[in-house]
Structure 1
């Protein structure tokens, strides 16, 4: 068995990134390593995202973080009401159907759900 357990991304400010991932996407704080300027946040399925502060920031963001959510349309409405800026609302894309936003360091965040992917994605 092979299971992806965690991912580390370089960030310019680990506290700012922690606050964004917790307040915007609802991830929970798992632990912090202050002396390493690293914070771990976790989704409800125990996947851990390490936010590692890097001098000078991450450079050019080099990955896309894709999150499966319960209802992409509803989450989009809720986050938009909370003044979260999206690159685009839920719509048909080359990868299916979903919404896109960016974290404080410019990492692309894709949001999708199983139901609308089946109904509207048609990949």
Structure 2
């Protein structure tokens, strides 16, 4: 059900150090950092608990998860729900707005998080930033494209580690399979005003 939760802090570095020390005995560590969003995600295998610096209700950037709400200066919490498909992300967004919510980031890809990250953000009646997100590829072509990209990245790492292999495998690395190109996500860049700097 819940995909991730974000709380906002006044000092990212101080909170990062505190949570890093406090959660270490539980096997929780920093999994992902988003420097441009002044945020980092903790977890054991997936970043499910996030901290982000200084986002106040009504004081954040317009759209896409950075702020919004009643403007009373309270620190905002952000939470995201897993969606089974991109269509359901779009349905969530439409339903949230129809129920009186405010749009805070239209449905779309957020490649700054990872290539298949597809989410939508809406503010609830109290200004909390609620998200629906779909992480995984959809359809055989996208799965195939993801596998090809992972294999090519691994091959490039191997070539970097063993320079003598480069002349032998360079044509393989440079070649971009047509199927992989066709499997790129439907949106190359995120919608205007989108992001998860929760």
TM-score range normalised by the length of the shorter chain: 0.3 to 0.5
TM-score when normalising by structure 1: 0.38
TM-score when normalising by structure 2: 0.26
More helix by share: 2
Higher gyration radius (CA): 2
